[in-house]
Structure 1
Amino acid sequence: MTWRVEHLAEGVTVYCGDARDIVPSLGQFEAIITDPPYGIGFAAQPTKWQRRAGQKAEAWDDLTVTGLADILKHGERQVCWSGNYYSLPPSRGWLAWVKPDAPPSMASLELAWTNQNRNARQITHSIGATNAERVGHPTQKPLAVICWTLEQAGNPATVLDPFMGSGTTGVACVRSGAAFCGIEIEPKYFDLACRRIADELRRPRLFSERPVAPVQEALL
């Protein structure tokens, strides 16, 4: 099977296709940082503000992902936002994003399952603070939250996001100097993620950052 693949820079490679098909060919990564669909149907019910911005109803998050555990095992450290919607092993290392400005119709926090035997941690970050970075994905995570997630995972040198959506994890990896491999099944979000990560790669660096490590790539 072949997939669309884009090499955006040395150590930054993204695939358009089904992660369950692609991940087995990629080998191991120091960390998997991801936010898979979790079956709440949020994209099928755009908010008033999303509708005004042109967001249409979509069905990709109506169901949870099958085979998630097999995907996660390709990362030594595993962080899965929305992991509380999946049957994953017990963990004491949960992460939480607290939303101080969440409306009554939305959860006031989101949880990330990790495979780390460590104390739970939380970050408080407003939803409104993310408005300036929104690019059109209905469940886009704030960049600050994902940068914090990388820190909580020990600043890994190689990162896989098998459900990269709008590419937030890729942007965070470029900023941290980590090698990034991303996978997205929806072509329009794949294209969006490519543009967003490419824009970040062109951004001038104010400080010296660690070199990007090479990503092991699939044989197409």
Structure 2
Amino acid sequence: MSEQAKSFRHEVIGDCVLFCGDSLDIMPTLGKVDAVVTDPPYGIGYSHGGGGGKLAKSTTLAKMPIHGDDKPFNPTPWISQPSILWGGNHFADSLPATQSWLTWDKRCADYSNDQADCELAWTNLGFPCRMFRHVWNGMLRGPESKTPRVHPTQKPVALMEWCLGFLPDAETILDPFLGSGTTLVACAKLGRRGIGIELDPDYFEIACKRVEEAYRQPDLFIEPPKKPEQEAMDL
């Protein structure tokens, strides 16, 4: 990590580094990453007059506002490397054309009663469209369905693990809009290095706790990474 990057508030947990701050300020201080996997605040609140369109209709948790959702989203800085951008259909006019959409079928999701039956992710990975639906079936449904959501757009860990499966050669994953940390939880469970950036201090703390917990409970069939370490945050 560069000295400039260390000047930002951060935590080092295992093979993951979490930053609290603006991704546009922090990204230039980072080294090379192999891929970007993220769910950006793509400006639905802005397009609907600040109505907070990304908040699930019935959730009584995760009521904190999403920083950046009241502004139009520009995806350009995050697509120069292999990228998976959830919500890409909301800013498709700002993205290159692609055939490689990922689709999360939410019709079987117990907690999913917001507006859409599915969510779409834009990618530049060069494969045909793929659909994800198995997270809510069988053995994968049990433990995660009992985990409370802590963010209005929180994705299932299994969904993000599925995304990383399309990036087998990517050793270091960047999520510049970390939210509650699901992308880095998936990195921890799969033995990948992860870098996450979150603007909101409350969600940053939540993400740190979730990544720590992921390292305490590694997947049985994945070789565990090095023991988590914490680095004092620069205030």
Q: Please state which band the TM-score falls in when normalised by the shorter chain.
A: 0.7 to 0.9
Structure 1, gaps ≥5 residues long: 213-219
Q: Which residue of 1 aligns with 2:231?
A: none
Q: Deviations over 1:154-177 (max 9, x none)?
A: 362110100010110001001111
Task: Compute the RMSD of aligned alpha carbons.
Answer: 2.7
- Alpha-carbon separation, structure 2, partners of 1:136 and 1:149: 21
Shift of 1:49: 4.0
- Alpha-carbon separation, structure 2, partners of 1:118 and 1:45: 28
The answer on whether the counterparts of 2:35 and 2:172 sit within 8 Å (CA) in structure 1 is yes
Q: Which residue of 2 aligns with 1:85?
A: 90
| CA gap 1:105/1:141 in 2 versus in 1, 3 angstroms | closer
Give the match's secondary structure for 1:152. coil
Q: Which residue of 2 aligns with 1:110?
A: 119
Q: Which residue of 2 aligns with 1:122?
A: 131
Amino acid at match of 2:126: N
The answer on whether the counterparts of 1:44 and 1:57 sit within 8 Å (CA) in structure 2 is no
Identity %: 39
TM-score norm. by structure 2 comes to 0.77
Q: Which residue of 2 aligns with 1:64?
A: 72
The answer on whether the counterparts of 1:84 and 1:112 sit within 8 Å (CA) in structure 2 is yes
Q: Deviations over 1:46-84 (max 9, x none)?
A: 556423x4x436253233334x311332xx311111112
- Alpha-carbon separation, structure 2, partners of 1:125 and 1:40: 28
1:158 maps to which of 165, 168, 172: 172
Greater CA drift, 19-28 or 190-199: 19-28
Give the match's secondary structure for 1:29. coil
| Number of residue equivalences | 207
Q: Which residue of 2 aligns with 1:19?
A: 23
The answer on whether the counterparts of 1:14 and 1:182 sit within 8 Å (CA) in structure 2 is yes
| CA gap 1:94/1:44 in 2 versus in 1, 3 angstroms | closer
| CA gap 1:13/1:115 in 2 versus in 1, 3 angstroms | same
| CA gap 1:202/1:89 in 2 versus in 1, 3 angstroms | same
Give the match's secondary structure for 1:148. helix
TM-score norm. by structure 1 comes to 0.82
1:4 maps to which of 9, 17, 23: 9
Structure 2, gaps ≥5 residues long: 46-50, 227-233
- Alpha-carbon separation, structure 2, partners of 1:158 and 1:6: 16
Q: Deviations over 1:34-57 (max 9, x none)?
A: 010122237468556423x4x436
Q: Which has the larger strand fraction?
A: 1
1:172 maps to which of 186, 192, 196: 186
